[in-house]
Structure 1
């Protein structure tokens, strides 16, 4: 089958592209490289450099079997300062993609969504039926696309799946030897930042708030290995129904505080990770832990690498291999 992967030069999109190719599919990647990296593009993929807004209408033709959409900006903190950037790229870009899919008659879409749409949940673990309270423009833009997909499925027969990610980390080694990990610049995610401190690139790590209503006062997050996350996308493609929009949470179902993550980084790397407390970031929920029971039940998905130590170890191996 032939698939378009928007944002396929990014962290998650490049891993999903590799798995699609390893499964025998033809992959075309559309990415403007504003946050992605051409080195992460699988050599067997066809790469088109361009922005979804401008290029997708020319790229997407009726011979495609589906689209996997990763072309979003993801920095929640930045979205508070630059909401217009996130509405334009994440929401308007997705609407232009839906226009192109409708014009080409392409009827299957897997959308990269986020658990951040739940905001501060009433309880954890969080099921898909939980109330959505997006705490920042990033999450709001993702939720808006989820609503658009529901309407598109009802009105035009789209088969859509939204995968709401919890915290993705680790690195993936493809069958061709390609090693794919996080290359964000600037980096905002905890594990790669902690690894930079362990490697001596940063002097210390900032912890944004230590007064949250959690056991040690720092944010609690559910970490999922990028390889496990990517595998769920292929399962989603095989279980779609025309005219239906399905939503699945993807996480391990267990939470780790920022302090616990740093302790694991110290253990895995054998290096100290000095920290300092900084003010809370706007829009940061205290506790996000997934219930992935629906994905396990309906997709047959089970994380193969649930241990935080293995997630950190793979990320550390990637960091050392690329620096």
Structure 2
């Protein structure tokens, strides 16, 4: 049984990855800064403390792991509030973890970066060869973390991969995870609690939305690769773009399918809409290695809407 450490294992993305890998038979350690109990619903999972200020402790935690999946990091909002802290954690923290992973047996290291290294908002045709142009601390600190992975990879310390994740969405595993500022998650919760879908941003802005189940499956497929891949940086998205209004229409349709009512779509009249913000988030590199499953937006949306109904809904629906 292969052993996997997931930093930020009790977070939104980390929790979903842990749940998926545990169900696939991996022995999963959920890393956290504080001691936490693993909920009963997790299979093959245990909790471990990751002390980012103690190099020896990090080395001990990593010593018997085969794979490290690094999802821990500061949010975009927190990075903007404290740019110095963003680099201390997203960059230096990643470097500390990479150093802790160094051993005689080369470990796989999967770093969850962000598509927003390219810009904000994301526009145009974006491949892994596109030049990152976003100066926001959230983007630059993640890009610096990627450089750390590249350096460790070049030295042969780890078999490292950077995954530049686009706009992921889906139901959380843990109820106390705050994932409701994500656009799709927010709209699905609105559909149940308010019976409306209010779009606060430019409704014509395009985004690449990817179900969390595709992210978790892609990570599993990378882990299962016997030989190192020829590339170590990948765009991880669906490869299809929708405007915010188009995604709201899909959520409206799935709400009607599940609950037999159609929440009204409300746009912000104070936001100036514009055309020409075409987005093509290129995922051909992942596809060339057969590392991206078929994307099922509706399946993930249905699961998310049912989660919202079970946790926030009223019995009248």
Q: TM-score range by the shorter chain?
A: 0.7 to 0.9
**Which one scores higher on RCO, CA 8 angstroms, separation ≥ 6?**
1
1:193 corresponds to which of 186, 195, 212: 186
Q: What TM-score does the superposition give when structure 1 sets the normalisation length?
A: 0.80
Larger radius of gyration: 2
Question: Between Structure 1 and Structure 2, how many residues are aligned?
Answer: 300
Alignment pair present for 1:265 and 2:251: yes
Alignment of 1:41-190 (within 5 A): 42-54=42-54, 57=58, 59-74=60-75, 76-102=76-102, 107-119=107-119, 123-124=124-125, 126-171=126-171, 180=173, 184-185=177-178, 187-190=180-183
Q: What is the match of residue 295 of structure 1?
A: 286
Q: What is the match of residue 316 of structure 1?
A: 305
Q: Do the aligned partners of residues 59 and 15 (structure 1) sit closer, same or farther apart at CA in structure 2, a change above 3 Å counting?
A: farther
Q: Do the aligned partners of residues 244 and 151 (structure 1) sit closer, same or farther apart at CA in structure 2, a change above 3 Å counting?
A: farther
State the alpha-carbon separation in 1 of the partners of residues 136 and 40 from structure 2: 29
RMSD of aligned C-alpha atoms? 3.3
Q: Do the aligned partners of residues 309 and 243 (structure 1) sit closer, same or farther apart at CA in structure 2, a change above 3 Å counting?
A: closer
C-alpha displacement at 1:32, in angstroms?
3.3
C-alpha displacement at 1:290, in angstroms?
2.0
Question: Unpaired runs of 5+ in structure 1?
Answer: 172-178, 211-217, 281-285
C-alpha displacement at 1:277, in angstroms?
2.4
State the alpha-carbon separation in 1 of the partners of residues 89 and 183 from structure 2: 24
Q: What TM-score does the superposition give when structure 2 sets the normalisation length?
A: 0.81
Q: Do the aligned partners of residues 209 and 305 (structure 1) sit closer, same or farther apart at CA in structure 2, a change above 3 Å counting?
A: closer
Q: Do the aligned partners of residues 186 and 141 (structure 1) sit closer, same or farther apart at CA in structure 2, a change above 3 Å counting?
A: same
State the alpha-carbon separation in 1 of the partners of residues 303 and 111 from structure 2: 26
Question: Unpaired runs of 5+ in structure 2?
Answer: 256-260, 272-276, 313-317
Per the alignment, in what secondary structure is the counterpart of residue 161 of structure 1? strand
State the alpha-carbon separation in 1 of the partners of residues 87 and 53 from structure 2: 13
Superposed CA offset, 1:58-108 (max 9, x none): 64243221211111123x344323323322222222122112112686532
Q: What is the match of residue 10 of structure 1?
A: 11
